């Protein structure tokens, strides 16, 4: 592992495999006090249920402590510069997790902090989510090579991390999104370059049914991400055809996994019938955030010789 986990690009396929093996072990035996006396600082510029709860519970289960710093506490970059916040935190804690608006805020934190920094969602990526999601698919399918994941909706932060992770694990990935809402071109090109070596293909299309055709996993996320609230009404009308519903599930493989990072807007990007239906693994994904993030923290702190 590198010092930080800011992007899926910070991990090699072998490191991802090793992370999944450690995650399986931790899921079987959750209480391992290997991070006794270590503290995680959690910086949030945006709201959260899963990320905060899973990092905090995870740190408790590993014998350490998590310190929640809410948006109004530190006013990152306003009350004090991002670099100075990093230079303070490194004196007190052994690891930092941050959820920010700008990806550059997380890279700035990491550059100015001697301790590991984890991206807990930025405008560009959500690597912890994607790792939990592919671990969920791995639990159900055992093999990720050659599977097809179809992402229906906005080419956003979650989509970017999933695309890159599909490439690293040898899976194929299709994004079905409205014109103008495609994933970032640089990340598309990076994904394609990794796929050239690892196998798998990336397709970006407007055709929802074609994307879902025989997919092993159907994935969606909110149409309006945090920070895009002013675009809500426009997005709600543009994204209308990009919904995971029963008709779309029928196009996919018979044992398709229906996935969502949550929070879900039932009746918008996913119907309740599908979210509560037999194909849905959305709460397994939420549970796996806990297990994978414990493995991430252990792996990063192992490099710093801080694991007992
Ligand atoms: N999926 C996810 O990151 O959820 P929260 O925004 O609740 O943390
Ligand atoms: N794309 C969503 C993910 C929430 C977990 C957002 O950024 O708000």
CATH number, domain at 228? Answer: 3.40.50.1370
Mean of the pLDDT values across residues 167-185? Answer: 98
Q: Is any ligand 1 atom within 6 A of the Cβ of residue 193? A: no
For residue 15, give the H/E element and its range: helix 13-28
Is position 126 annotated in a ligand binding site?
yes
The residue written with tokens 């695309």 in the block is: 163
Task: Give the mutation target among 47, 48, 126 for probing the ligand 1 site: most ligand atoms within 8 A of CB.
Answer: 48
What's the pLDDT band for 243 if we cut at 50, 70, 90? very high
Query: Ligand 2: distance of its center to the CA of 226 in Å?
Result: 6
Give a yes or no: residue 293 inside a domain.
Answer: no
**Where in the sequence is the domain holding 116, given as residue range(s)?**
31-124
Task: Give the mutation target among 158, 175, 289 for probing the ligand 2 site: most ligand atoms within 8 A of CB.
Answer: 158
- pTM for the structure as a whole: 0.98
Mean of the pLDDT values across residues 80-107? Answer: 98
Instruction: Clarify whether residues 115 and 142 are in a common domain.
Output: no
Give a yes or no: residue 12 inside a domain.
Answer: no
**Residue 212 CB-density burial (10 A; 0-12 exposed, 13-18 middle, 19+ buried):** buried
Count of structural domains, the chain = 2
Residue 308: the pLDDT is: 86
Pairwise CA distance, residues 123 & 135, whole Å: 23
Mean of the pLDDT values across residues 258-262? Answer: 98
Instruction: Clarify whether residues 198 and 110 are in a common domain.
Output: no
Instruction: Clarify whether residues 87 and 223 are in a common domain.
Output: no
Q: Is any ligand 2 atom within 6 A of the Cβ of residue 226? A: yes
For residue 79 the two structure tokens come to: 């009350």
Instruction: Clarify whether residues 74 and 132 are in a common domain.
Output: no
Give a yes or no: residue 40 inside a domain.
Answer: yes
- Residue 244, helix vs strand vs coil: strand
Residue 176: the pLDDT is: 98
Instruction: Clarify whether residues 91 and 221 are in a common domain.
Output: no
Instruction: Clarify whether residues 156 and 88 are in a common domain.
Output: no
The predicted-structure confidence for 13-25, as pLDDT tens digits, reads as follows: 999 999 999 999 9
Q: Which ligand is nearest to the CA of 48?
A: 1
Residue 222: the pLDDT is: 98
Alpha-helix runs per DSSP H in 33-175: 50-61, 71-74, 82-89, 103-111, 127-141, 157-169
Picking from 93, 124, 155, the residue at the C-terminal end of a domain is 124
Q: Is any ligand 1 atom within 6 A of the Cβ of residue 49? A: yes
Instruction: Clarify whether residues 160 and 250 are in a common domain.
Output: yes
Say yes or no to pLDDT of 32 above 90. Answer: yes
What's the pLDDT band for 304 if we cut at 50, 70, 90? confident
Instruction: Clarify whether residues 156 and 268 are in a common domain.
Output: yes
Give a yes or no: residue 227 inside a domain.
Answer: yes
Instruction: Clarify whether residues 132 and 253 are in a common domain.
Output: yes
Residue 201: the pLDDT is: 98
Instruction: Clarify whether residues 190 and 80 are in a common domain.
Output: no
Instruction: Clarify whether residues 145 and 96 are in a common domain.
Output: no
Q: Taking the alpha carbons of 245, 175, 139, 298 in that order, is the dihedral positive or negative?
A: negative
The predicted-structure confidence for 117-168, as pLDDT tens digits, reads as follows: 999 999 999 999 999 999 999 999 999 999 999 999 999 999 999 999 999 9
What's the pLDDT band for 72 if we cut at 50, 70, 90? confident
Give the atom of ligand 1 at the shortest distance from the alpha carbon of 261: 1
Say what percent of the chain tops pLDDT 70.
100
Residue 187: the pLDDT is: 98
List, in order, residues 6 or more apart from 26 with CB less than 8 Å away: 32, 291, 294, 295, 298
Is position 289 annotated in a ligand binding site?
yes
């Amino acid at each position: 592992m590198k010092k930080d986990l800011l992007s899926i690009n910070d991990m090699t396929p072998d490191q991802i495999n090793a992370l999944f093996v450690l995650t399986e072990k931790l899921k079987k035996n959750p209480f391992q006090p290997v991070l006794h006396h270590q503290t995680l600082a959690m910086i949030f510029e945006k709201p959260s249920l899963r990320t905060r709860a899973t990092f905090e519970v995870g740190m408790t289960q590993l014998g350490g402590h998590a310190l929640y710093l809410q948006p109004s506490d530190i006013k990152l970059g306003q009350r004090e510069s991002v670099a100075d916040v990093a230079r303070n935190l490194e004196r007190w804690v052994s690891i930092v997790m941050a959820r920010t608006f700008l990806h550059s805020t997380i890279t700035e934190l990491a550059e100015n902090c001697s301790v590991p920094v984890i991206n807990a969602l930025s405008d560009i990526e959500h690597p912890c989510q994607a790792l939990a999601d592919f671990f969920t698919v791995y639990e159900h399918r055992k093999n990720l090579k050659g599977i097809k994941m179809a992402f229906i909706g906005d080419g956003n932060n979650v989509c970017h991390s999933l695309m890159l992770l599909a490439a690293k694990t040898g899976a194929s990935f299709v994004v079905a999104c409205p014109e103008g809402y495609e994933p970032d071109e640089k990340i598309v090109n990076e994904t394609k370059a990794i796929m050239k070596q690892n196998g798998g293909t990336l397709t970006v299309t407007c055709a929802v049914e074609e994307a879902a055709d025989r997919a092993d996993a159907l994935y969606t996320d909110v149409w309006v991400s945090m920070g895009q609230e002013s675009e809500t009404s426009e997005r709600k009308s543009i994204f209308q055809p990009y919904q995971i519903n029963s008709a779309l599930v029928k196009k996919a493989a018979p044992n398709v996994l229906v996935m969502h990072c949550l929070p879900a807007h039932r009746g918008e990007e996913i119907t309740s019938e599908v979210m509560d239906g037999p194909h849905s693994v959305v709460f397994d994904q939420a549970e796996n955030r806990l297990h994978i993030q414990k493995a991430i923290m252990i792996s990063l702190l192992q490099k710093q010789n801080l694991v007992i």
